């Protein structure tokens, strides 16, 4: 069973603050790293898929970076807004399997 | 465009009862998946179907069966429900079973087994 760790488990930030959180995954047999955003009472929605070491992706105020050699990815949110409140999931895909292994998520609460 | 739909939204079963969770997608995707979500755990894959006519076990298949009825529909069956199967079940689909393919999730089914 692959180990995909996300930290912190939860955090509270003030509106306007920038924040970031981490996803750690096995550095061997890497194929792809996915980020999903999951709002309460809704379904997970895809944010990014990254495959190359050094990849950086951006969508509005949200960006992500990838380091496959050391096995981590950072998700950054610039100028957090209350609508950014959600659980952010990362999922690892290895070269030997078609399955995604999800982390437990980081729950972000943005306080107005 | 409905995306991925799941029925029912909520279900309460008694231990030993059986039921089928239904999932359908209208995006012409080849691959479909069933996950369960438990408190303090990540989404865990139960079964997946890479294409119509094929199914494979995921991380936690015990106690479940699946049927890929056609390209649109993928059902999950609990033959004899147990309290340990109390969970939220999500169906997902993707264009292919590519490791970089985005998965699109349904709204979930909240199942309680008493």
For chain A, percent of residues with pLDDT exceeding 90: 84
Cα B113 to chain centroid, rounded: 17
Nearest to A2 by CA among A30, A25, A29: A25
Is the pLDDT score of A71 beyond 70?
yes
pLDDT at residue B34, as a whole number = 97
Mean pLDDT of A66-70: 95
Within its chain, how far is the Cα of B38 from the centroid?
14
> What distances in angstroms separate CA A24 from CA A89, A94, A105, B30, B39, one per listed residue?
12, 13, 11, 30, 20
- Cross-chain Cβ contact A44/B90 below 8 Å: yes
Chain B residues interacting with chain A (CB cutoff of 8 angstroms): 4, 40-45, 48, 50, 58-59, 90, 97-108
Report the gap between the CA of A9 and the closest CA in chain B (Å): 10
The closest CB to that of B99, out of A31, A102, A104, belongs to: A31
Count of positions (residues) in chain A: 112
Mutation site for B-interface testing, chosen from A35, A98, A103, A107 by largest number of B Cβ within 10 Å: A98
Best to test chain A binding among B93, B99, B100, B107 (most A CBs inside 10 Å): B99
Instruction: Please check the confidence at residue A3 and state whether its pLDDT lies above 90.
Output: no
pLDDT at A1 over 80: no
- Partner B contacted by A96 (CB < 8 A): no
Q: For residue A13, what are the β-bridge partners?
A: A110
The partner residue sitting opposite B59, judged by closest CB among A1, A46, A91, is A1
Considering chain A, what is the average pLDDT of its residues?
Answer: 93
CB-CB: which of B58, B99, B106 is closest to A93?
B99
Note the pLDDT of residue A63: 97
Give the torsion sign (CA, A27, A31, B94, A58): positive
Averaged pLDDT, A18-35: 93
Q: A49 with A87: CB under 8 angstroms?
A: no
pLDDT digits (tens, 9 = 90+) for B12-71: 999 999 999 999 999 999 999 999 999 888 899 999 999 888 999 999 999 999 999 899
- Model confidence at A45: pLDDT above 70: yes
Q: Hey, are the CB atoms on A34 and B45 less than 8 Å from each other? A: no
Q: What pLDDT shows up at residue A4?
A: 93
Share of chain A above pLDDT 70, in %: 99
Q: What is the DSSP letter of B9?
A: S
Burial A52-85 (b: 16+ CB within 10 A, else e): eeebebeeeebbbbbebeebbbebebeebeeebb
């Amino acid at each position: 069973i692959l180990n995909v760790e996300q930290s912190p488990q939860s955090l509270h930030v003030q509106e306007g603050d920038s924040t970031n959180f981490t996803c750690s995954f096995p550095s061997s047999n890497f194929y792809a790293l996915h980020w999903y955003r999951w709002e309460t009472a809704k379904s997970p929605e895809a944010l990014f898929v990254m495959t190359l070491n050094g990849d950086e992706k951006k969508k509005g105020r949200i960006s992500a970076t990838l380091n496959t050699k050391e096995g981590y990815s950072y998700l950054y949110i610039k100028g957090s807004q209350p609508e950014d409140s959600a659980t952010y999931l990362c999922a690892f895909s290895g070269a030997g399997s078609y399955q995604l292994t999800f982390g437990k998520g980081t729950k972000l609460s943005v306080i107005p | 465009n409905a995306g991925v739909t799941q029925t029912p939204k909520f279900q309460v079963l008694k231990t030993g009862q059986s039921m089928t969770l239904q999932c359908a997608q209208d995006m012409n995707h080849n691959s479909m998946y069933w996950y369960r979500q438990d408190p303090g755990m990540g989404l865990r894959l139960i079964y997946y179907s890479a294409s119509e006519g094929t199914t494979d076990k995921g991380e936690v298949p015990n106690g479940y069966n699946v049927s890929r009825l056609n390209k649109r529909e993928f059902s999950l069956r609990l033959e004899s429900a147990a309290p340990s199967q109390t969970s939220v079940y999500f169906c997902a689909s993707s264009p292919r079973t590519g490791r970089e393919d985005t998965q699109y999730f349904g709204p979930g089914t909240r199942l309680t087994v008493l």
